[in-house]
């Protein structure tokens, strides 16, 4: 009986002591949805919903209180932005300096695409037909006709003469392909 | 013991610096003795750092708290199995691990490439030992793992509770080794630039090392996600945290490299481009190590913060400046020897692949450093959280996945539009069909997810067709039965089909990531004992809290009964652990019940004095397929890098029976 009592006592003590430390406030789903949009201001890389810090706990309580008072999601988010600045938003705002984070990748991708397109236009010049097998390289042609040989001396290899039987030819080509890895 | 380890590190530093100078000097002075001594020095550094690492390990095993690093990262209660986790749990130890594995890889490369051209290898050794010298400097004089305590404490502080997990034994060493192993392709690139031997040869010797590095870093990332999913307790596996971003960036550029390098192998094109990709991958690997270990960008991972920042920045600047000047110096020799023939070619599809990978990495890099940029420019730190990365990276990734189905069907040089059209219609139709089917079941309100599923189905169809056609063709040609034909097809063309296996693994991961992102169900609730909560098809009943103690830790655990479709399927336990010395930083054990269809993921968030507890519950569809896909990718990489047993590589250039039909 003694150990049981003792452990009950310890559990009660622990609960009393830790209720503050662990975020013991249950968030209903709406509060959690709002908390997930907010960055915990004192910790790094965690949202208010997931952070174990005291401040995040208080912010969750504020969100719940405001929800109970009938405030809407936008109002609550705006309240936190007013208090903590744009940095409290997990998704960077699409205005002011926040716009730069959204636009730069799109710009770079567009510039890259234009550059690549122009480069390809320069590289691709009409040249005399070179390719005896210009058809699609399906697995069939991969197994039977090896893809272009590893680059050698800058010149394309010319066509060779084919052996007599088609089975022989296929075997020989498989050997050849195998050699080339 | 501390002095012994310290001396080993300083000796390694001196010898590495010697090798980095002796190797190029040997080439300059035409002195083979110097080259031989540099070679020996590479092996010597490996031995010395092995000794240093063993010393630190021994210090942990014997609880030698006179060493500061040991006192700060372990305690008498720490289980033996976590000694390794403690070893690289802090800054100095993880840098020692980095340097140690680099010394081992350098020695391995030196041994393997004994017969390779000594001039090229001299510069490889110079580069490897140059990097080694930097780590020797850091380990010996800035962040020494053997720094002593002024007073020997009776017990250590203990390991950060976040690291009390089996995943810690695998995830950091893989990741750090992944960063480290990109030094090898980098060294070959520098050697090629320095010697001016920029032909296909350096690419040949680099390709396999690059593949190994790519695989190690990829596995490291995967294990990191697995660890985060099980330990961090927020319901996901990837949070676009700066540390995660820095780990994925070199991997993505490395992926671009192992694709575009094929163009150089086959066509002698893109030499500057490939060189630049290898260099950038290495820069990003160093940047990643630096971000993980300096805490420059605030992040949950940066436990360790110290004075190594300026050193890393200086080193990175030096490396970037010197290698870029080398590259510009050699630009005239890196001229392409061929031209592109058509937009409808494998070359062109690889170039689009490269563009997308680069755009993706730029977006991730920009988003990662943007908080610092905005702080510097405007004084306010803008947060760039997961929504940004999901919205920007998501679409790029979907296009990249679709490209996995396009590239392999494209012929080298030039394809014909009509035949390509015929080839692509069935798999595209299959993709559209699958997307529509998923839409009918799940609704059309998540078009991005449907696009991703469609792309995955399309790729799967192309790979299956390729395998099927190849097997049939081989059976026709050789008369083998189907199974044997398939096996031989793969083993004889292991690079091609290994690549397909990797692509299949990526498709598995993509499907699972899409499903678990788009169709995750989430509830949070406070329950009194006996109360229930319904989440998706699961009904959870809270059975009550229990408190127990293990050496060095108090555990409060909650037990929940799980019903699926009104049938009891088991119980889940989730707990909070309060480690001695870290009472204000409790760690969470997530209760996870995995099935092939979904993971039920329950987190104990907190409790009240009346015995009620609050929970966060997630139902994450298909998550197990992420980890299985990772295994498939690793297996595919292994197939692709498996050396061909035949000694016939040497005969590639030799004329063979006048046979070149089909080789354009």
pLDDT tens, residue by residue, B266-283: 888 888 889 999 999 999
Residues contacting A91, CB < 8 A, separation 6+: A37, B385, B387, B388
Question: CB distance A86–B382 less than 8 Å?
Answer: yes
Question: CB distance B423–A131 less than 8 Å?
Answer: no
The answer to whether residues B577 and B586 touch, using CB atoms and an 8 Å cutoff, is yes
**CATH level 3 topology of A2-88:** Helicase, Ruva Protein; domain 3 (1.10.8)
**Residue to test with chain B: of A5, A58, A137, A141, most B Cβ within 10 A:** A137
Give the pLDDT mean for B50-68.
94
pLDDT of A132: 42
- Whole-angstrom Cα distance, residue B231 to residue B592? 11
Give the pLDDT mean for B347-370.
93
Question: CB distance A91–B388 less than 8 Å?
Answer: yes
pLDDT of B76: 86
Whether pLDDT at A75 is above 60: yes
- Helical packing angle, B271-294 and B309-329, nearest 10°: 180
pTM over 0.90: no
What percentage of chain B carries pLDDT values higher than 70?
A: 95
Work out the number of other CB atoms within 10 angstroms of the CB of residue B571.
14
CATH number of B1-164: 1.20.120
Whether pLDDT at B655 is above 70: no
Interval B504-518: pLDDT, tens? 999 999 999 999 999
Look at B304 and B221; give whichever has higher pLDDT: B221
Question: CB distance B234–A50 less than 8 Å?
Answer: yes
Distance to chain A for B487, nearest Cα, Å: 13
Give the pLDDT mean for B246-254.
96
Identify the H or E element spanning B71.
Answer: helix B68-73
Q: What angle do CA A32, B598, B568 make, to 5 degrees?
A: 95
Q: Which chain B residues are Cβ-neighbours of A157 within 8 angstroms? A: 660, 663-664
Whether pLDDT at B79 is above 60: yes
pLDDT of B199: 78
Q: Which chain B residues are Cβ-neighbours of A82 within 8 angstroms? A: none
Tell me B15's DSSP state.
Answer: H
pLDDT of A13: 43
Whether pLDDT at A129 is above 60: no
Considering only B18-32, B46-60, B415-429, which range has the smallest mean pLDDT? B415-429
Work out the number of other CB atoms within 10 angstroms of the CB of residue B662.
24
Question: CB distance A11–B547 less than 8 Å?
Answer: yes
Q: Is B238 exposed, middle or buried (0-12, 13-18, 19+ CB in 10 A)?
A: buried
pLDDT of B661: 33
**Report for A22-36, A119-133, B381-395: range of highest mean pLDDT:** B381-395
Identify the H or E element spanning B593.
Answer: strand B591-594
- Whole-angstrom Cα distance, residue B42 to residue B103? 7
pLDDT of B11: 97
CA closest to B269 among chain A residues: A151
Question: CB distance A179–B656 less than 8 Å?
Answer: yes
Size of interface A-B (CB pairs under 8 A): 314
Look at A142 and B311; give whichever has higher pLDDT: B311
Interval B523-535: pLDDT, tens? 888 899 999 999 9
Written in H, E and C, the secondary structure of B468-479 is HHHHHHHHHHHC
The answer to whether residues B588 and B604 touch, using CB atoms and an 8 Å cutoff, is yes
B31-63: buried (b, 16+ CB within 10 Å) or exposed (e) per residue? eeebbebbbebbbbbbbbbbbbbebbbebbeee
Considering only B307-311, B391-395, B546-550, B619-623, which range has the smallest mean pLDDT? B307-311
Domain ranges of chain B: 1-164, 521-624
């Amino acid at each position: 009986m003694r150990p049981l009592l003792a452990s009950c006592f310890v559990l009660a003590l622990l609960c009393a002591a830790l209720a503050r430390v662990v975020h013991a406030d249950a968030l209903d789903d709406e509060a959690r949805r709002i908390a997930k949009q907010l960055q915990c201001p004192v910790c790094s890389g965690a949202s208010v919903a997931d952070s174990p810090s005291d401040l995040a706990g208080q912010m969750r309580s504020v969100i719940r209180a405001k929800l109970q008072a009938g405030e809407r999601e936008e109002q609550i988010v705006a309240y936190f932005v007013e208090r903590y600045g744009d940095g409290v938003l997990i998704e960077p705002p699409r205005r002011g300096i926040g716009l730069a984070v959204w636009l730069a990748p799109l710009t770079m991708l567009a510039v890259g695409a234009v550059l690549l397109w122009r480069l390809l236009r320069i590289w691709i010049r009409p040249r005399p037909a070179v390719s005896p097998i210009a058809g699609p390289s399906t697995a069939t042609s991969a197994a039977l006709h090896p893809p272009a040989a590893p680059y050698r001396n800058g010149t394309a290899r010319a066509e060779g003469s084919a052996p007599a039987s088609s089975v022989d030819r296929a075997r020989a080509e498989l050997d050849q392909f195998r050699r080339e890895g | 013991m501390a002095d012994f380890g310290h001396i080993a590190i300083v000796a390694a530093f001196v010898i590495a610096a010697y090798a980095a100078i002796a190797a190029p000097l040997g080439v300059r002075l035409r002195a083979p003795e110097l080259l031989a001594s540099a070679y020996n020095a590479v092996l010597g550094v490996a031995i010395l750092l092995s000794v240093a690492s063993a010393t630190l390990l021994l210090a942990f095993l014997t609880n030698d708290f006179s060493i500061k690093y040991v006192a700060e990262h372990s305690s008498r209660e720490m289980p033996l199995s976590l000694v390794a986790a403690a070893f690289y749990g802090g800054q100095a130890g993880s840098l020692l691990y980095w340097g140690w594995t680099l010394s081992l890889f350098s020695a391995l490369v030196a041994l393997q490439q004994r017969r390779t051209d000594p001039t090229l290898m001299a510069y490889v050794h110079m580069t490897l030992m140059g990097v080694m010298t930097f780590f020797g400097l850091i380990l010996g004089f800035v962040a020494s793992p053997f720094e002593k305590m002024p007073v020997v404490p009776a017990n250590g502080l203990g390991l950060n509770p976040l690291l009390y997990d089996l995943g810690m034994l695998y995830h950091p060493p893989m990741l750090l080794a992944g960063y480290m192993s990109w030094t090898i392709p980098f060294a070959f690139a520098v050697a090629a630039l320095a010697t001016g031997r920029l032909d296909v040869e350096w690419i040949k010797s680099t390709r396999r090392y690059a593949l190994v590095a790519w695989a190690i870093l990829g596995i490291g990332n995967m294990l990191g996600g697995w660890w985060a999913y099980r330990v961090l307790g927020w319901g996901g596996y990837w949070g676009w945290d700066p540390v995660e971003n820095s780990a994925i960036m070199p991997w993505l550029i490395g992926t671009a490299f192992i694709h575009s390098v094929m163009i150089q192998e086959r066509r002698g094109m893109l030499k500057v481009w490939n060189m630049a990709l290898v260099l950038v991958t290495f820069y990003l690997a160093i940047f990643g190590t630096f971000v993980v270990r300096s805490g420059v960008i605030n992040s949950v991972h940066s436990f360790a913060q110290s004075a190594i920042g300026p050193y890393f920045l200086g080193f990175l600047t030096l490396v970037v400046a010197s290698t870029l000047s080398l590259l510009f110096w050699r630009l005239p020799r890196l001229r392409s020897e061929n031209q592109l023939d058509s937009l409808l070619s494998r070359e062109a599809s690889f170039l689009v692949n490269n563009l997308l990978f680069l755009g993706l990495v730029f977006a991730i890099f920009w988003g990662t450093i943007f908080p610092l940029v905005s702080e510097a420019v405007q004084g306010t730190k803008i947060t760039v959280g997961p929504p940004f990365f999901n919205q920007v990276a998501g679409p790029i990734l979907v296009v990249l996945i679709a490209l996995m189905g396009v590239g392999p069907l494209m012929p080298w040089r030039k394809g014909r539009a009509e035949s390509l059209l015929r080839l692509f219609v069935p798999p595209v139709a299959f993709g559209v069909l699958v997307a529509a089917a998923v839409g009918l079941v799940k609704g059309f309100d998540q078009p991005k997810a449907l696009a991703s599923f469609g792309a995955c189905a399309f790729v799967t169809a192309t790979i299956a067709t390729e395998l099927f056609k190849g097997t049939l063709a081989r059976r026709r040609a050789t008369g083998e039965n189907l199974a044997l034909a398939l096996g031989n097809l793969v083993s004889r063309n292991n690079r091609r089909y290994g690549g397909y296996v990797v692509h299949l693994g990526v498709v598995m991961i993509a499907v699972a990531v899409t499903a678990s992102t788009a169709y995750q169900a989430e509830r949070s609730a406070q329950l009194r004992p006996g109360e229930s909560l319904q989440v998706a098809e699961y009904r959870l009943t809270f059975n009550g809290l229990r408190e127990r103690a293990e050496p060095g830790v108090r555990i409060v655990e909650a037990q929940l009964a799980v019903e699926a479709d009104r049938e009891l399927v088991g119980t889940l336990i989730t707990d909070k652990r309060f480690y001695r010395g870290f009472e204000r930083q409790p760690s969470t054990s997530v209760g996870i019940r995995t099935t092939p269809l979904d993971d039920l993921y329950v987190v104990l968030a907190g409790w009240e004095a009346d015995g009620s507890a609050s929970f966060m519950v997630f139902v994450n569809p298909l998550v197990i397929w992420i980890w299985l896909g990772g295994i498939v990718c690793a297996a595919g990489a292994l197939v692709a890098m498996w050396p061909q047993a035949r000694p016939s590589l040497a005969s590639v250039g030799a004329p063979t029976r006048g046979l070149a039909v089909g080789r354009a």
